[in-house]
């Protein structure tokens, strides 16, 4: 029997726990001693510069790569993610940046792609009902599930990809750059979608370069730098703190701009304080 004290923090189930995860590609070290925890009903943003190891870590959790060392605990039990089907079977779903949708097929066919009901004689009615159920739970703005994916907007395509990931009722969803190349309205739609996934009690790992998107939905921000942990921040952390952790340089354009604003603000305050009194 699993000790609940080991898998619950503040009453929330610890869905995922990584300890000392490292990954080497020959002589190249992509990840070194990565620690990460994700709880049910929590969005953890994974941020870092290009080459920080974010994609490698996501692929390890998706079962695409196997770690060179370290341990993975999922829902309180040690697991080995040998391949993507193993990860999906355990309850870890991944939505990659390219979404992997077939544009010539409709929404229903994409949601059930590879998991069709009664494949020898497709149960189209049950599949359509289930598709509508998933999309309604996500408050999706899709008028028809028989519409080809090619005619959908970027935000709607992301919705279809996430609905497909929910088909097997996972406990953890990995989102790789879910708002990349989206407009303002579509980005807002996807961020709302992420919040609804969290409200379902799922753990979410969101990889993103956009700090405003991260702040909008993340409960914690985990920074990777050169394949190592480099800080965990609250969503209200300043741009200066995050950029410093991501780049490893305390002196950068963001910190200099913040310093200038602080100096200018102090000068304005001094001018107001020492303004001569006007006698009438």
What's 115's DSSP letter?
Answer: -
Q: What is the mean pLDDT of residues 173-191?
A: 90
Q: Which band of pLDDT confidence, cut at 50, 70 and 90, is reported for residue 275?
A: low
Residues 263 and 272: their CA atoms lie apart, in Å, by: 14
pLDDT computed for residue 266 by the predictor: 56
Q: Are 229 and 35 in contact (CB under 8 A)?
A: yes
Each residue's pLDDT tens digit, 41-73: 999 999 999 889 999 999 999 999 999 999 999
> C-alpha angle 184/185/188, rounded to 5°?
85
**Cα–Cα distance for residue pair 10/7, rounded to 1 Å:** 10
pLDDT digits (tens, 9 = 90+) for 93-113: 999 888 889 999 999 999 998
- Please name each of the domains of the chain with its CATH number: 4-273 (3.40.50.300)
- Tell me which residue has tokens 């950068």: 252
Nearest of 52, 78, 54, 56 to residue 67 by alpha carbon:
56
Of 216, 164, 176, 197, nearest to 15 by C-alpha is 197
Measured between alpha carbons, how far is residue 273 from residues 2, 262, 267 in Å? 64, 16, 10
pLDDT at residue 258 greater than cutoff 80: no
d(CA 280, CA 258): 40
86-100, 115-129, 200-214, range with the lowest pLDDT:
115-129
Choose between 268 and 240: higher pLDDT: 240
Closest CA to 94 of 206, 198, 221: 206
Region 27-52 average pLDDT: 95
Q: Which helix (H) or strand (E) holds 160?
A: helix 154-165
pLDDT for the residue 121: 82
Nearest to 226 by CA among 30, 26, 59, 61: 30
Query: What element of type H or E holds 93?
Result: strand 92-95
Mean pLDDT of 230-235: 93
| Euclidean distance between CA atoms 204 and 174, whole angstroms | 6
Mean pLDDT of the chain, nearest integer: 87
Confidence of residue 183 (pLDDT cuts 50, 70, 90): confident
β-strand pairing of 220-225 with 69-74: unpaired
56 compared with 265, residue with greater pLDDT? 56
What is the per-residue pLDDT for 43? 97
Q: Which of 91-105, 113-127, 208-222 is least confident?
A: 113-127
pTM greater than the 0.85 cutoff? no
Q: Compute the average pLDDT of residues 179-203.
A: 90
The half-sphere exposure of 45 on its side-chain side, counting CA atoms within 13 A, is 31
């Amino acid at each position: 029997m699993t000790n609940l004290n080991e898998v619950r923090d503040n009453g929330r189930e610890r869905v995922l726990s990584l300890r000392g995860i490292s990954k080497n590609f020959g002589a190249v070290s992509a990840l070194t001693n990565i620690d990460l925890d994700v709880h049910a009903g929590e969005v953890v943003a994974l941020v870092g510069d290009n080459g920080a190891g974010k994609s490698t870590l996501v692929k390890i959790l998706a079962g695409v790569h196997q770690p060179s060392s370290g341990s993975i605990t999922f829902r309180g039990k040690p697991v080995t993610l040998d391949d993507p089907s193993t990860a999906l079977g355990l309850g870890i779903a991944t939505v990659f940046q390219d979404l992997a949708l077939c544009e010539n097929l409709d929404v229903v066919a994409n949601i059930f792609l590879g998991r069709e009901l009664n494949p020898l004689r497709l149960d189209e009615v049950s599949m359509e009902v289930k598709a509508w159920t998933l999309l309604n739970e996500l408050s999706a703005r899709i008028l028809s599930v028989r519409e080809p994916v090619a005619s959908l907007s970027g935000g709607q395509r992301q919705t279809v990809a996430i609905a497909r990931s929910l088909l097997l009722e996972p406990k953890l969803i990995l989102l790789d750059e879910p708002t990349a190349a989206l407009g303002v309205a579509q980005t807002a739609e996807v961020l709302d979608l992420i919040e609804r996934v969290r409200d379902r009690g799922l753990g979410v790992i969101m990889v993103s370069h956009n700090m405003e998107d991260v702040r909008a939905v993340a409960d914690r921000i985990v920074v990777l730098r050169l394949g190592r942990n480099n800080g965990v921040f609250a969503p209200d952390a300043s741009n200066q703190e995050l950029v410093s952790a991501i780049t490893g340089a305390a002196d950068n354009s963001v910190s200099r701009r913040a310093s200038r604003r602080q100096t200018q603000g102090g000068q304005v305050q001094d001018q107001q304080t020492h303004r001569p009194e006007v006698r009438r």
